[in-house]
Amino acid sequence: MPELPEVETVRRGLQPVMEGSKIVKAETRRKDLRFPFQKDFVTRLTGQTVTGLGRRAKYLMADLASGDVLLMHLGMSGSFRVLKEEDEKTPGQFHHPRSGDRAHDHVVFHMSSGAAVVFNDPRRFGYMKIIARNALEHEPLLRGLGPEPLGNEFDAAMLARSCANKKTSLKAALLDQRVVAGLGNIYVCEALYRAHLSPRRLAATLATKTGQRKGVAGGEPTDHARRLVAAIHAVLNQAIKAGGSSLRDHRQTTGELGYFQHSFGVYDREGEKCQTAGCEGIVRRFTQNGRSTFWCPKCQK
């Protein structure tokens, strides 16, 4: 499943050909993806100018001149490619190789920029939905999402408040999209490693108990919380700059591979020596909440 850096890579790849351009024609080549298309899906898109292309958590959001927003999710195997003047560019594909079978080209946007934006999804776990801008705060797909990890609201104090009364592990809390939006298994493992915090640590330890006794709502942030927020910021910014992680053949708009996987400290490095200076630990893997967790038991406490 693509995480925040990979979705942001797709957004940046699509932005030049979609933003400020009109959807001259929209095609849906089947009745559904993960969910059925709305009956007026094509009608509400045709002739509309994309005034902005943003991202919320793992969703792409195209603002339309009509006041509608086109919400797009890549699912597990979804990818976009841009066709223009016999040239193909792939603004992101994740985990599963992008299918060469055009039978999986399920949605096409013909843009006034001269480009065709094609959504290909062999497994059909992706989905698209049109929502009125003034109804976004009530949209079930978005309503429960927490703060953006790279937004101004997300800091140690906010994370401490969100985790203060949780009885779950720190890793489980970070994967909870209600706590922080857009983080997934890879980047949570990497952030915890950089912060030297165990994925098994209780999430509540990010807030002080003394702060709670003083009447501070949710407690004050501990040094653990400050280190973790700094690590999350650093990991995500570095991954975005690298074009995301290519675990199989995810490619940037230019056709280049994302290369953040070469900077992994622990993810997918089971049995290797810990890269932390002075640490002689060995990276281990265990299953946590149904997902593989990679960590160094010696330096992550």
Annotated binding site for DNA: which residue ranges? 104, 123, 166
Catalytic residue among 11, 44, 58, 251: 58
Is 88 annotated as catalytic?
A: no
Q: What angle do CA 270, 276, 282 make, to 5 degrees?
A: 30
Is 25 annotated as catalytic?
A: no
Residue pair 24/112 in contact (Cβ under 8 Å)? The answer is: yes
Q: How many CB atoms sit inside 10 A of residue 178's CB?
A: 12
Q: What angle do CA 27, 17, 260 make, to 5 degrees?
A: 105
- For residue 234, give the amino acid letter: A
Is 280 annotated as catalytic?
A: no
Q: Using CB atoms within 10 A of its CB, is residue 143 exposed (0-12), middle (13-18) or buried (19+)?
A: exposed
**DSSP class per residue in 151-196:** STT-SHHHHHHHHTT--SBHHHHHH-TTTSSS--HHHHHHHHHHTT
Residue pair 246/172 in contact (Cβ under 8 Å)? The answer is: no
Look at the block and give the residue holding tokens 């790849």.
13
- Report the binding-site residues: 104, 123, 166
Is 2 annotated as catalytic?
A: yes
Closest CA to 181 of 264, 57, 10: 57
Catalytic residue among 12, 227, 291, 298: 291
Residue pair 46/37 in contact (Cβ under 8 Å)? The answer is: no
* Structure tokens belonging to residue 113: 């920029």
The set of catalytic residues is 2-3, 58, 291
